[in-house]
Chain A
């Protein structure tokens, strides 16, 4: 039911701060469990900031909070961390490096869609 996007993961300031507080800390969880999407894409999917979305990849899925970001349409960004790793396949194509960026994912509104947390 979702739409196809390209996922990139990466470092953020808040993720680093949360890291030192521990991966179970609320700061870390908040810093690593959102997905940034373009305003156009969010509107088309009927999402507002804070809405829950399901993100699926060939490796697994994660439930994340949608957030408006500066990504171009078609691209979604999730901070590196424990949440996103369910989506990253362990296939390295013989390079040792999993596809932490440029992975195809499906994004759909989560059940109960559009509610702000």
Chain B
């Protein structure tokens, strides 16, 4: 006998869609309504069968696993805690508490995603808004170096392209859409204007836009492969729209100047507010990476790449960020929470991670877990555990328990490890 459970919230990506429903039969999710193809797998691809924790591949009791994890962390000179972006804020808070108590370095996937956007915000500020403001008011949308068609599948329909809002009553028609990218994508197909930029040339293009917005005329024909005439037209639109927004992504954070690219965009957006209202929004990738930034900021003052080694928080991206800690071999034990750096990190970093004692908290057998000493199979927040996630615009949204399983949560496991290390 199946029942409908709602509301159901998906936290796969930064959209954190909270309008789903699930059909549950005998503690199994048989169908989910409303999820996109990327989020659906969170519910249907997850096997919540109870699994025991393992140490060196052998099943052990929870007490034994916790004791082993505590021993590894206490015995380390320089433990690293990493991941966090796919777990709830309640668990993130526990992770920071643990890092504080053992003097660990703690970092989230921000450092390989929107860390540069955070650095840009620290340098020049960030004029932003919540997604409802965009849906209701924005008549000019710019997607810069991002591809929501592939990464945030319901973004166009819920927020940025087609929905009808208070002042955008005609939906798509009321919006002018620009995309700046290095190649055509599913997103560029939806745009009114596609400006194809040369890889690594975003900074020059952004600076040129700032000049054009100020009424200056560059003495070149094109910048970064884009005709200046096209940029001049964009600049005019940027200044004269009613309410504009620039969504930005990895095209800016991962290329060439990284945080300097982002800072140039943030500065442009700041300056546009002298003429009209304009906001910028980083397209946060993972469902609760915004939460990781928030939790780390309120407990340490800094959003990622934090070290407690001296007994107080220190912030140093490039030094305490996980890739750097690993490739420099500056850490000798790792606790990986709801993340798979073994699969996603540059090989040299992943390789070193597989060589040091590692503890993993994850719902499935990740690549990282396959090289780990201690593995805790935990629940998925939003499926068989409830908790809080922060949407890409920083709105906190509850994740609900849809099915009852025997899985423990990341929060539970971390609490037990905290008790065991003291």
**Which residues on A are within 8 Å of B, measured CB to CB?**
6, 8, 10-13, 16-17, 19-23, 59-60, 69-72, 75, 77, 80-82, 85-102
Contacts and interface: CB of A to CB of B under 8 A. Distances in A.
A96 B111 contact: yes
A92 B199 contact: no
Interface string B245-283: 000001101111011000000000000000000000000
A71 B147 CA distance: 14
A90 B147 contact: no
A95 B347 contact: no
A70 B236 CA distance: 29
Contacts of A88: 346-347
A11 B112 contact: no
A95 B41 contact: no
Contacts of B344: 80-82, 85
A86 B363 CA distance: 25
Contact of B348 (A8, A21, A59, A101): A59
Given A70-B183, A85-B345, A95 B38 contact: no
A25 to B, nearest CB: 9
Chain A at the B interface: mostly helix, strand, loop or mixed? Answer: loop
Contacts of B366: 23
Contacts of B42: 20
A87 to B, nearest CB: 8
Given A20-B46, A21-B45, A10 B317 contact: no
Given A59-B348, A86-B347, A90-B348, A96 B38 contact: no
Contact of A96 (B185, B251, B317): B317
Contacts of B147: 10-11
B41 A17 contact: yes
Contact of A13 (B153, B256, B304, B318): B153
Given A80-B344, A100-B112, 10 more contacts: A16-B38, A20-B42, A71-B182, A82-B367, A90-B324, A90-B326, A90-B347, A92-B324, A96-B324, A101-B255
Given A16-B38, A19-B41, A70-B184, A93 B343 contact: no
Sorted nearest first, the 9 A-B pairs with minimum C-beta distance are A20-B41, A96-B321, A20-B45, A94-B318, A16-B38, A90-B327, A96-B317, A96-B111, A101-B254
A92 B317 CA distance: 9
A2 to B, nearest CB: 18
B150 A85 contact: no
Interface of B: 12, 37-38, 40-42, 44-46, 107, 111-112, 115-116, 119, 147, 150-151, 153, 182-185, 196, 199-200, 250-251, 253-256, 258-259, 285, 304-305, 317-319, 321-324, 326-327, 340, 343-350, 364-367
B340 A102 contact: no
Contacts of B346: 59, 85, 88-90, 98
Contacts of A101: 199, 250-251, 254-255
B16 to A, nearest CB: 15
Contact of B256 (A22, A94, A102): A102
8 contacts: A12-B150, A59-B347, A77-B183, A90-B348, A96-B322, A97-B253, A97-B258, A100-B112
Given A96-B321, A98-B112, A72 B348 contact: no
Contact of B305 (A22, A69, A96): A96
Given A85-B347, A90-B345, A102-B254, A13 B183 contact: no
A99 B254 contact: yes
A17 B259 contact: no
B183 A16 contact: no
Given A19-B41, A22-B364, A75-B199, A95 B119 contact: yes
- Interface centre among A11, A87, A88, A89, by most chain B C-beta atoms within 10 angstroms, is A11
Nearest to B43: A20
B41 A72 contact: no
Contacts of A19: 41
Contacts of A93: 258, 318
B347 A60 contact: yes
Contacts of A90: 323-324, 326-327, 345-349
Contacts of B327: 90-91
A115 to B, nearest CB: 27
A82 B343 CA distance: 5
